[in-house]
Structure 1
């Protein structure tokens, strides 16, 4: 198989990625299956080993393959029959189900399925490789390349008093790695942290694994946070940190009013606790956002985290952190982690910011996300009216749906799985059993021809899973 003549619009790693996917699709066994080595595939497909390695790394991140030291890459086992779990870790079940061939995956949150910058990013990489040959690249930049750190600092600066510098920015291999590191730097083990709820399952798992006591602050039915409860918790609990979104909270798709945002900032300043701002979806508001939380709270007790993945795609999985404080400990932890990041790819992302290409891309992406959400509203009204409640999301790529009647949402999940459909039950977004009557549904279906049939299947699953 020679890849060089395939679809001119593709880059080599994309063709390699598709080829490996086809190999995985041929696997239909409960036993693990070893995949060809880097060298074998490089020879077979007439591409470089680095291209093979990059394709494998994307597949590993997606959970399709895993690596074994000194052994190679393996495809995760895919049972020949649909799974019939009745217990166990629900998140593991969702991930495993999403890997099955022929499944309609409506559990994800991938805005860049609608628009990505793969082409421009990789074109910039090729140009930069000529400018920065390998022997001229620095040996190690543990906190990220200066160009990208400077571009992010400039983007987050909003005034002379709300300003950031390149030295305040830290870039890691992915968001999970950055959050794991942050729990060490802040010494969160055994402390109490307040998070808005529902909350992304990655964040919840990181806090849970770090031995953090998590108090969940649910969004109210009217689309606001309960500020009275927040005030009470800050008064009676030894809260070390409060984790809130910058503008829009996902998966709920809600955002605080300007007045509530000011009240929250006042409370946080009054009690002097650390603020960790989740800016993962800060760039994906459908309309002009309110002032972000970071521009209202004490900047000396503030940290901000985000990732490029939600705006660029899987080719830019890096997570990043902004902090004015604890620079020595942050630098030490990043050095100890030894994140292996492509300096060329980081410089290419920096160029996207500097050239204005990122802003142009975001305008297009936001518009497409909003249009897709509006189309999903029409479909929900057509197929699920009266069965689910929801609000039009203010950002992102998902809907937060609540059942109007009591249902066993795990049974809904299982019935849909039997029909080769995967959704994300609401309980995944809580550690304390909240959101049992909710589910997250992706709206980036990208012209999925059977979406209407899928929603009819969801409607029937909800009816069959009613309690009482």
Structure 2
């Protein structure tokens, strides 16, 4: 299979994606199967490594494959009729369900499904290809191209004392790869870190796989931050760092109040703790954002990570990190990872930021998310009002529900799979068994399914799964 004749990177990327779909489908085994490395597939298909990386990133996001640090990529077993059985790892069963044809997937968190910048990004990329012929493109930018790093540094600068430079920004192939480097550089294996809870399952799994000691900081019974519990942890545990959201806490869809942010900043300073800020959803509040947590804490004990994909769309799969410290170690690890990222696509992203196009897009996305959440709220009230409670989200693309009665949520999950609907049980968002009565539902999905029927089925599942 030769793809070199394709004129544009995005066309080759889709061809590689289709090739990998067929390759995975041919596996025909329940055991995990290692896939070709980026370099091997690049040579086999005669395309760039960055093109292969795009395809692999999409496959990983869809739950078809997964990566293992220092080992490579593996294919999840292809779902068979027995894949619907209630045994096995819950996350694997969720991923298997999303890959079955004809499923209504309400478990995802993809805000950019409503509107993305994929088309403008690819159009701009085509223009830049003519300005920067392949032979003039630098063969290696281990931390990302300067233009995009400078654009991000400017976007995160808020004052003369809270400023960033391009050299403080590190760009990787995806968010997971960036976080793996950070865990290595900070030597977090065996260390204790405080994590805001509930937390994204991909981050929790990554921390567990790396041997990091996760201390969960859940909200109190009213859904607000339990600052007394947070202070007690800082007093009694040897906490290496604290990972908190910049503004938006997901999957709950809540935003930390100004008073809470100030109190958290005070406690971090009082105990000399480093903050690792998760800004993945920082721009997804329905209202104009207030000051981020990073603008209140000591800038000398601060690192920030995020990704482009949640806001801009799947054609921008990169993750990035901002850090003023450990530059030599970070540069070395990014160099060792050999992220062969498309310099053209990074320059296209930089121009979208510099032109103000991203700001206009974010405003539109916030409005659409707010409108979609209002529609979803009415449908939940109509179909699930008797069976589940929720707080209206003020950010993001999901609802965080809790059953009014004690239920076996795994039974609910399995029942819905049988009805060709995938939900996300709350226990996936904890490492210590929290949120057994919760579930996450997306309000961004295609209109090819009957949502009212699915919510009626969910109400029936919650009724049947009650624990006597």
Q: TM-score, normalised by structure 2?
A: 0.89
For the 8 Å contact 1:102–1:420, the answer to whether it is kept is yes
- C-alpha change, 1:22 and 1:256, in structure 2 (3 Å) is closer
**Distance in 2 separating the partners of 1:232 and 1:76:** 41
**For residue 339 of structure 2, what is the aligned residue in structure 1?**
339
Q: Which moved more, 1:376-385 or 1:48-57?
A: 48-57
**Distance in 1 separating the partners of 2:51 and 2:209:** 33
**Distance in 2 separating the partners of 1:122 and 1:213:** 41
**Distance in 2 separating the partners of 1:384 and 1:114:** 24
**Distance in 1 separating the partners of 2:212 and 2:202:** 14
**Distance in 2 separating the partners of 1:384 and 1:25:** 38
**For residue 328 of structure 1, what is the aligned residue in structure 2?**
328
Q: Which moved more, 1:14-23 or 1:79-88?
A: 14-23
For the 8 Å contact 2:106–2:441, the answer to whether it is kept is yes
Question: Following TM superposition, by how much is the alpha carbon of 1:316 offset from its aligned partner in structure 2, in angstroms?
Answer: 1.0
Question: Following TM superposition, by how much is the alpha carbon of 1:267 offset from its aligned partner in structure 2, in angstroms?
Answer: 0.2
**Distance in 2 separating the partners of 1:336 and 1:18:** 26
Q: What is the CA deviation profile of residues 101-121 of structure 1, one whole-angstrom value per residue up to 9, with x for unaligned ones?
A: 111111110111111111110
What is the total number of aligned residue pairs between the two structures?
Answer: 450
Q: What is the CA deviation profile of residues 210-252 of structure 1, one whole-angstrom value per residue up to 9, with x for unaligned ones?
A: 2111111101233321000111111111111111000010001
For the 8 Å contact 1:13–1:54, the answer to whether it is kept is no
> Aligned runs of 1:340-379 on 2, under 5 Å?
340-379=340-379
Alignment partner of 2:378: what SS?
helix
**Distance in 2 separating the partners of 1:384 and 1:58:** 35
**For residue 59 of structure 2, what is the aligned residue in structure 1?**
60
**Distance in 1 separating the partners of 2:54 and 2:236:** 50
**For residue 423 of structure 2, what is the aligned residue in structure 1?**
423
**Is residue 2:303 matched to residue 1:303?**
yes
Q: What is the CA deviation profile of residues 120-148 of structure 1, one whole-angstrom value per residue up to 9, with x for unaligned ones?
A: 10111111111111111112111100000
**For residue 384 of structure 2, what is the aligned residue in structure 1?**
384
**For residue 156 of structure 1, what is the aligned residue in structure 2?**
156
- C-alpha change, 1:66 and 1:157, in structure 2 (3 Å) is closer
**For residue 91 of structure 1, what is the aligned residue in structure 2?**
91
**For residue 166 of structure 2, what is the aligned residue in structure 1?**
166
**Distance in 1 separating the partners of 2:276 and 2:106:** 29
> Aligned runs of 1:133-148 on 2, under 5 Å?
133-148=133-148
- C-alpha change, 1:27 and 1:185, in structure 2 (3 Å) is closer
**For residue 436 of structure 1, what is the aligned residue in structure 2?**
436
Question: Following TM superposition, by how much is the alpha carbon of 1:446 offset from its aligned partner in structure 2, in angstroms?
Answer: 3.5
Question: Following TM superposition, by how much is the alpha carbon of 1:22 offset from its aligned partner in structure 2, in angstroms?
Answer: 8.9
**For residue 70 of structure 2, what is the aligned residue in structure 1?**
none
**Distance in 2 separating the partners of 1:201 and 1:53:** 25
For the 8 Å contact 1:311–1:362, the answer to whether it is kept is yes
CA RMSD for the aligned pairs? 3.0
Q: TM-score, normalised by structure 1?
A: 0.89
**For residue 126 of structure 1, what is the aligned residue in structure 2?**
126
For the 8 Å contact 1:66–1:76, the answer to whether it is kept is yes
For the 8 Å contact 1:27–1:78, the answer to whether it is kept is no
- C-alpha change, 1:230 and 1:65, in structure 2 (3 Å) is closer
Question: Following TM superposition, by how much is the alpha carbon of 1:364 offset from its aligned partner in structure 2, in angstroms?
Answer: 1.0
Alignment partner of 2:143: what SS?
coil
- C-alpha change, 1:128 and 1:193, in structure 2 (3 Å) is same
